[in-house]
Structure 1
Amino acid sequence: MSPDNTVQVTSLPNLAQILPYLLGHYPDDSITLHAPGPNFIDGPTMTCPLPDDSAEWKTTAKTAARRFAAYANDQGHNPDQGVIIYLTCEPRSEQTPWDTAALLAPVADWLTTELMEHRGVVLQTIGLVSNRWWAYECSTEGCCEGEPLPSPDDPTSITAQMARLGRTPGPRTRDILAEFRPTTADLEFLKDLHGATSRFKGRCATSAGRDAMLSTTCAQIGAAINQFRSGATALNRALTTQLIVGLRDDVAVDAGMIHADEDLPHARRLWAYLARHCADPFTHEAVPILTLFAFTTWRQGDLIATRLALRDAITIDPDYELAVGIHLATIDGEDPREHLAAARESQARRTAHLQHAVQIASEYLPATDSNAERYRQALDSATLGYVPESFTAHQRIIDRYSTVDIIRGALADLRSGRPQISDEVAARIILGLQDRATRDAALSSGEESDLPYERQLWGNLARRCVPPYIDQAPPLLTLLGWVAWRQGDATTAAHAFTDALDIDPVYRLAEIMLDGLHADLDPAPILATAREAAARFAASRADLDNL
């Protein structure tokens, strides 16, 4: 503070009352360590929450003292110049303020001992409980124990001095935390969130699925911001659950960081709203959301809310790099606009890539529209009547030819302008192609004029591999990728092969073809091999017919 704004801290009551002005908020249930500077408020300060379990207080106190000594030295302030300790705690049920103050007394001793081991000198230890103060360094019995904080009417009180300077003490920690911490769990909502999590995992089984979900999440973020901008205070349950699980994607988190300054209040309410819905056992889902809340409040200049949200995020996941990075940036006094510019640049690049990837994958990505349930039911029914594990060797051979005949019929329909494939026929082909010999027989080996129809068929069938039948998609994706490669569409081919391997990492044909594509090999030798295999398959059918 300048000389005109000097605050006089001339008594223990003043020392007790200045804490919320020192921090900008009142730290509920915390240890605060402060090394006073020339105007007292100057100098390094650190706050550490006291765990709910008092058995952990000793470890917490020792750790806090060590960290503060190191931090003070880093700030160019030797702790041997003096440290003030503040201990704040509210009484639990059936406790009086004096009971709580007595519980805090050992914490004062642990902090003092640990600071002394790091050459720290404790000037005073103040306990604050229920608007009363204790001075633990005072050795006079009955003195400095449970005195009320000075009245604002006292012109020498810190409250009065700060009021003359136009300053307020700021909110309590518990009021700030209430903005973004879950309270009572809504069991029905948590059930819906569990379902959304399962669907998210299913749809993200492939790269194309992840890209599609990411595109959806980015659009939903914008829609939610618009709703809050229009005055909404809540979102419908479906959108809430989808956003919570969608923000698991780091790219979606980047998209949540880049809103314009005028939208920061709306973004803050959105992230707080979502974080409040991440009750146990979904607290881990809160980490990216708390980080977005922290970045938003940092941009708003609300460092207290920023640090409290980051503390929660890092406590849940100490390895979440974005939260740790923002935390360190706030400590170092960096400008959030630099991080915002980097996020916007990164998001612009990713958006262009994402739009291209989603456009490619739309050809074969499992359906999520009203048709999805119909496709699933068709596969359910087909699976009941199609049990290849029970086939004899002869039945298996017959089934291969039968599947290939059905495929040829479907292609003939496409050539003749009948693009619709019945659900029953589609399901039968999908199941039949799980046999690798059948898949090899279906591998495109015909003329180039047939390629558009083959591509249309494999894309149609791949879109029908909806959860829980996503694991049936690799042969369809591999067949599609091969057709695309023959057509010179290396991009789609690479996406299709990659998605097949995402589903089944040891799907050998997709792996071989993807390696060949990456090596820029000519597909002609593979085509020649496929044609030879098709000829052998056709010839062996004549032998079968003569049995």
Structure 2
Amino acid sequence: MSPDNTVQVTSLPQLAEILPYLLGHYPDDSIAFHAPGPNFIDGPTMTCPLPDDPAEWKAAAELAALQFVAYAHEKRHDPGQGVIIYLCRDPRPDETPWDTAALLAPVTDWLTLTLLNERACVLQTIGLVANRWWAYECTTEGCCEGQPLPPADDPTSVKAQMARLGRTPGPRTRDIVKEFRPATADPDFLKDLDSAVAQFNARCATSAGRDATLTSTCAQIDAAISQFRAGATTLNRTLATQLVVGLHDDGAVEAGMAHTDDDDLPHARRLWAYLARHCADPFTQEAVPTLTLYAFVAWRQGDLIAARLALRDALTADPEYDLAVGIHLGTIDGEDPRDFLATARENRNHRMAHIQHAVQVASEYRPVTDSTADRHREALDTATEYHSAQTSTNRGQLLARYGTIDIIGGALADFRNGPSRLMDEIAARIILGLQDRETRDAALSTGDENDLPIERQLWSYLARRCVPPHTDKAPPLLTLLGWVAWRQNDTVTASHAFSDALDIDPHYSLAKHMLDGVRTDCDPAALLAVCREEAQRFAAGRADLDNL
């Protein structure tokens, strides 16, 4: 500060009352640190929550001291030049201020010892309880114990000095968190929220369901923001509960971050706070995404205190929530929230393009729903009985295995020569034959690239015939299709086909292995070499059939 703007802190009472000016808020039930800079109020500060249970205070104090030393060093400040500690706690209903101050006294020893071990020097430890202060370094009995903070009309008080500079103390933590923390539970809302969670989980059991739910949630975000922009302060319960659970999709949270321009920040802040306030116990974890969105908006508005308090609640409920962790570190490291916004918008656009492509891709192989579905169902019903009887012996299994490969060869020839149609009986026999994993492996594409379009047509054609209740027979077809698409460098179709196979059978190992290969940018050439070796071994195995 310039000489004209200097704040004099020359007494313990002034040291006690300056805390909300240092932090920008008054921290209820917290440990606060300040390492004074050249003008005293310069220098790093940090607050850490003081748990409700005194049995947890020792561990909390030691961890907080270590975190502050690390933070001070990150800010290029030597905590060896001095640290001031504040212990803030309101008396509980059965406590006097003196009881609470005595309960806090051991915390000073744990903090001091930890800081000394880290070569940090403690200048003072101030207790702030019920608008009174204690200086724990003072050893004179009855001195510096429970004195009231200086009144505002004291011309030497920090409040008076700050008032002359046009500055006001920050609000209390408990007043800030009222904006986003539940005060009372709405039983009807929580009942509907419980149902919405179950519905969300059911809808998201498949890739297609997840994509459809994400699309719906993004539209609901737009609708809710529009309502709040128009002056709304509430949402209907159905929309609110669906939004809360829908935001558990990372794509929806990115849409929430990316969706609002600067003019919409106040409306978005009110929306996320409204949703978070409705997630009362035992549904506090459902609020983690909305608290994170609230914190992001507050950060963009420059309200770091509210942002960090909301993030504290989010990370208390879910310490592993990556976005909350990232935003929290961003607020500490002084990053620009606009960088997060740009990333969110890029990811949102990418996801939406992926979903749009998924719809197009799925049309290639999703089971038909037109008038032919009954015919395909009947063909599979009939063929299932025949196939089960045929494969009841070892010789029958081998006959079915090599017979299926021969039929596939004939089908591919038919596809090369004309319209892509097979007799229902032939198509059903191939589908059932490919349920055998050795047959499926032998059918994996091993030919030249010129053969791939025809193979792709065949597997898509057969997958579309796996109508209910025969949907469970689709994974081999989808895996073969995905493999061909991968060989064609169409990793988008490959990913969707493998994912849909795993939606039907989560344990279908070949689809999982290939999907992992696509996601890690593996070269399919190595797998192709293995497939060609397997095809040769399979062809050589015909001799076993002749010897049976």
TM-score (norm 1): 0.72
Alignment-derived partner of residue 69 in structure 1: 69
Q: Any conservation in 1 of the 2:279–2:286 contact (CA below 8 Å)?
A: yes
Q: Which amino acid aligns with 1:136?
A: Y
| Aligned-partner SS, 1:178 | helix
Shift of 1:93: 1.0
Counterparts of 2:483 and 2:333, CA distance in 1: 52
Alignment-derived partner of residue 48 in structure 2: 48
Alignment-derived partner of residue 352 in structure 1: 353
Shift of 1:278: 2.6
Note the residue ranges of structure 1 that are not aligned, 5 or more in a row.
367-385, 398-431, 441-451, 466-471, 522-547
| Aligned-partner SS, 1:21 | helix
Q: Any conservation in 2 of the 1:482–1:513 contact (CA below 8 Å)?
A: no
Cα 1:77–1:506 shift into 2, 3 Å? closer
2:472 pairs, out of 474, 486, 492, with 474
Counterparts of 1:176 and 1:363, CA distance in 2: 53
Shift of 1:365: 8.1
Alignment-derived partner of residue 504 in structure 1: 505
Task: Report % sequence identity.
Answer: 68
Counterparts of 2:112 and 2:230, CA distance in 1: 53
Cα 1:160–1:363 shift into 2, 3 Å? farther
Cα 1:512–1:161 shift into 2, 3 Å? closer
Counterparts of 1:509 and 1:136, CA distance in 2: 67
Counterparts of 2:513 and 2:90, CA distance in 1: 66
| Aligned-partner SS, 2:90 | coil
Stretch moving more, 296-305 or 114-123: 114-123
Q: Any conservation in 2 of the 1:208–1:495 contact (CA below 8 Å)?
A: no
Shift of 1:161: 1.1
Give me the CA root mean square deviation: 4.4
Alignment-derived partner of residue 251 in structure 1: 251
Q: Which amino acid aligns with 2:49?
A: P
Note the residue ranges of structure 2 that are not aligned, 5 or more in a row.
368-380, 393-427, 437-456, 518-523, 529-548
Counterparts of 1:161 and 1:284, CA distance in 2: 43
Alignment-derived partner of residue 330 in structure 1: 331
Alignment-derived partner of residue 411 in structure 2: none
Alignment-derived partner of residue 93 in structure 1: 93
Counterparts of 2:151 and 2:266, CA distance in 1: 35
Alignment-derived partner of residue 159 in structure 1: 159
Alignment-derived partner of residue 207 in structure 1: 207
| Aligned-partner SS, 1:105 | helix
Q: Any conservation in 1 of the 2:483–2:514 contact (CA below 8 Å)?
A: no
Alignment-derived partner of residue 21 in structure 1: 21
1:517-538: CA deviations, max 9, x gaps?
A: x8899xxxxxxxxxxxxxxxxx
| Aligned-partner SS, 1:33 | strand
Counterparts of 2:364 and 2:64, CA distance in 1: 57
Q: Which amino acid aligns with 1:257?
A: M
Alignment-derived partner of residue 6 in structure 1: 6
Q: Is residue 191 of structure 1 aligned with residue 191 of structure 2?
A: yes
Shift of 1:279: 2.9
Q: Any conservation in 2 of the 1:182–1:277 contact (CA below 8 Å)?
A: yes
Counterparts of 1:135 and 1:484, CA distance in 2: 71
Cα 1:37–1:202 shift into 2, 3 Å? same
Shift of 1:283: 2.8
Counterparts of 2:363 and 2:171, CA distance in 1: 50
Alignment-derived partner of residue 271 in structure 1: 272
Cα 1:482–1:113 shift into 2, 3 Å? closer
Q: Any conservation in 1 of the 2:475–2:508 contact (CA below 8 Å)?
A: no
Q: Is residue 132 of structure 1 aligned with residue 132 of structure 2?
A: yes
Q: Any conservation in 2 of the 1:481–1:492 contact (CA below 8 Å)?
A: no
| Aligned-partner SS, 1:101 | helix
Alignment-derived partner of residue 414 in structure 2: none
Q: Is residue 314 of structure 1 aligned with residue 315 of structure 2?
A: yes
Alignment of 1:290-305 (within 5 A): 290-305=291-306
Cα 1:473–1:187 shift into 2, 3 Å? farther
| Aligned-partner SS, 1:42 | coil
Q: Which amino acid aligns with 2:178?
A: A
Alignment-derived partner of residue 545 in structure 1: none
Q: Which amino acid aligns with 1:246?
A: G
Cα 1:12–1:457 shift into 2, 3 Å? same
| Aligned-partner SS, 2:179 | coil
Cα 1:310–1:513 shift into 2, 3 Å? closer
Counterparts of 1:170 and 1:273, CA distance in 2: 23
Alignment-derived partner of residue 414 in structure 1: none
Counterparts of 2:168 and 2:200, CA distance in 1: 46
Counterparts of 1:511 and 1:145, CA distance in 2: 67
Counterparts of 1:481 and 1:111, CA distance in 2: 60
Shift of 1:200: 1.6
Alignment-derived partner of residue 104 in structure 2: 104
Q: Which amino acid aligns with 2:330?
A: A
Alignment of 1:319-398 (within 5 A): 319-358=320-359, 360-361=361-362
Q: Which amino acid aligns with 1:268?
A: R
Q: Any conservation in 2 of the 1:28–1:172 contact (CA below 8 Å)?
A: yes
Counterparts of 2:203 and 2:219, CA distance in 1: 17
1:294-352: CA deviations, max 9, x gaps?
A: 11111000000111122222233332222222222211111111221222222222222
Cα 1:64–1:511 shift into 2, 3 Å? closer
Shift of 1:107: 1.1
| Aligned-partner SS, 2:180 | coil
Shift of 1:277: 2.5
| Aligned-partner SS, 1:47 | strand
Shift of 1:85: 1.0
Q: Any conservation in 2 of the 1:36–1:42 contact (CA below 8 Å)?
A: yes
Shift of 1:503: 2.3
Q: Any conservation in 2 of the 1:33–1:84 contact (CA below 8 Å)?
A: yes
Alignment-derived partner of residue 400 in structure 2: none
Shift of 1:232: 1.4
Counterparts of 1:459 and 1:203, CA distance in 2: 22
Q: Which amino acid aligns with 1:5?
A: N
Shift of 1:455: 9.0
Alignment-derived partner of residue 216 in structure 2: 216
Q: Which amino acid aligns with 2:232?
A: A
Counterparts of 2:74 and 2:483, CA distance in 1: 60
Alignment-derived partner of residue 537 in structure 1: none
Cα 1:509–1:90 shift into 2, 3 Å? closer
Q: Any conservation in 2 of the 1:90–1:100 contact (CA below 8 Å)?
A: yes
Alignment-derived partner of residue 141 in structure 2: 141
Counterparts of 1:266 and 1:496, CA distance in 2: 40
Q: Any conservation in 2 of the 1:209–1:365 contact (CA below 8 Å)?
A: no
Cα 1:206–1:144 shift into 2, 3 Å? same
Alignment-derived partner of residue 540 in structure 2: none
Cα 1:341–1:53 shift into 2, 3 Å? same
| Aligned-partner SS, 2:51 | coil
Alignment-derived partner of residue 450 in structure 2: none
Q: Any conservation in 2 of the 1:9–1:15 contact (CA below 8 Å)?
A: yes
Counterparts of 2:219 and 2:6, CA distance in 1: 51
Counterparts of 2:71 and 2:125, CA distance in 1: 19
Q: Any conservation in 1 of the 2:26–2:172 contact (CA below 8 Å)?
A: yes
Counterparts of 1:363 and 1:227, CA distance in 2: 39
Q: Any conservation in 1 of the 2:466–2:473 contact (CA below 8 Å)?
A: no
1:183-234: CA deviations, max 9, x gaps?
A: 3333333332222222222222222221111111111111111111111112
Q: Which amino acid aligns with 1:97?
A: P
Counterparts of 1:277 and 1:318, CA distance in 2: 21
Shift of 1:439: 9.0
1:1-32: CA deviations, max 9, x gaps?
A: 23221111121111111000110000001111
Q: Any conservation in 2 of the 1:13–1:150 contact (CA below 8 Å)?
A: yes
